[in-house]
Amino acid sequence: MSSDLRQLPIGVFDSGIGGLTVLKALVARLPGEDFLYLGDTARLPYGTKTSATVERYALQAVAELVRRGVKAVVVACNTASAAALPALAAAHPALPVIGVIEPGAAAAVAATRTGRIAVIATEGTVRGGAYQRAIHALRGNAEVSATPATLFVALAEEGWTRGEVALATARRYLEPLFSHDQSAPDVLVLGCTHFPPLVDAIREVVGQGIQIVDSAATTASALAQLIQYRNLTHSAGSGATGFLVTDGEDRFARIGPVFFGRSIAPTDIERVDL
Ligand code: DGL
């Protein structure tokens, strides 16, 4: 493996700003790596679109990252992970590509005691049954329910992650899932990378006894293992992150920090056409 390849950034892709919740964990886990993030902000939401459309968008996004030079790609979007991972692997056979659903499933299975797991995600992720399959592959007797919580994506993109609208929305989606004490799940998976910033509102509805998990930390560990296995680890990078968006650079700079946990300089954001 040439050292040049090791020095390339890791590409991270989402429909919008949600993948920044994963990027935050990647940067923390792999501080010596550089990253190039692409948010397809012109075309989100992905979650309400057909899987054929999401697959096409994902192929275009990853082609752009590859064109710019990345050594691996994290599909930091559950909807795109559910719809496009096989197509991405076929289009880029030499490129290490990981999604967030298997890591999210692993986090859920590690956290559950009862085996009853609730997943909230986008319509597209729920429709394909990807979480159910990934969880059952790890724990065959798990009882998995998956529910779309589409409006959380719009709230997150709007930056309305706290307050009465977030809380009322969380009640509407989650109260029916956690109302039966005996058979209620003990784990809630945030199966959409836009959802973690809404965790306070979600916690208020589900109560303290439920473990809330997402894919960010387990995805970071899976990526660390994958690039080590492929001899692609780089420890001397500056931790620099570049950002590509397909629309709305100002909005991305304004709302992105809620997800990323640090400020994003407008000069680090470039608009790109896919
Ligand atoms: N953040 C994406 C996910 O994890 C999708 C949000 C959307 O564009 O609908 O599923």
CA of 150 to the centre of ligand 1 (A): 9
Average pLDDT score over residue span 136-164: 94
Distances (CA, A) of 208 to 74, 138, 161: 31, 26, 19
Q: Is the CB of 71 under 6 A from ligand 1?
A: no
Q: Whose CA is nearest to atom 8 of ligand 1?
A: 45
Cβ atoms of residues 57 and 91 within 8 Å:
no
- Nearest ligand 1 atom to alpha carbon 47: 9
| pLDDT tens readout for residues 15-25 | 999 999 999 99
97-98/72-75 β-pairing? parallel
55 pLDDT above the threshold of 60 = yes
Q: Ligand 1: which of 153, 198, 252 to mutate, most ligand atoms within 8 Å of CB? A: 153
- d(C-alpha 123, C-alpha 178), whole Å: 20
54-72 burial: b if 16+ Cβ within 10 Å, else e:
bbbbbbebbebbeebebbb
CATH numbers and ranges of domains, the chain: 3-99+217-271 (3.40.50.1860), 101-215 (3.40.50.1860)
Q: Is the CB of 15 under 6 A from ligand 1?
A: yes
Percentage of the chain beyond pLDDT 90 is 89
Average pLDDT score over residue span 48-61: 97
Q: Is the pTM value of this prediction over 0.75?
A: yes
Closest by Cα among 47, 35, 40 to 14: 40
CA of 45 to the centre of ligand 1 (A): 6
192-204 burial: b if 16+ Cβ within 10 Å, else e:
bbbbbbbeebbee
Identify the helix (H) or strand (E) that includes residue 148. Answer: strand 143-148
Q: Ligand 1: which of 12, 20, 41, 77 to mutate, most ligand atoms within 8 Å of CB? A: 77
Residue 234 pLDDT? 86
Residue 179 pLDDT? 78
Active-site residues: which are they? 77, 192
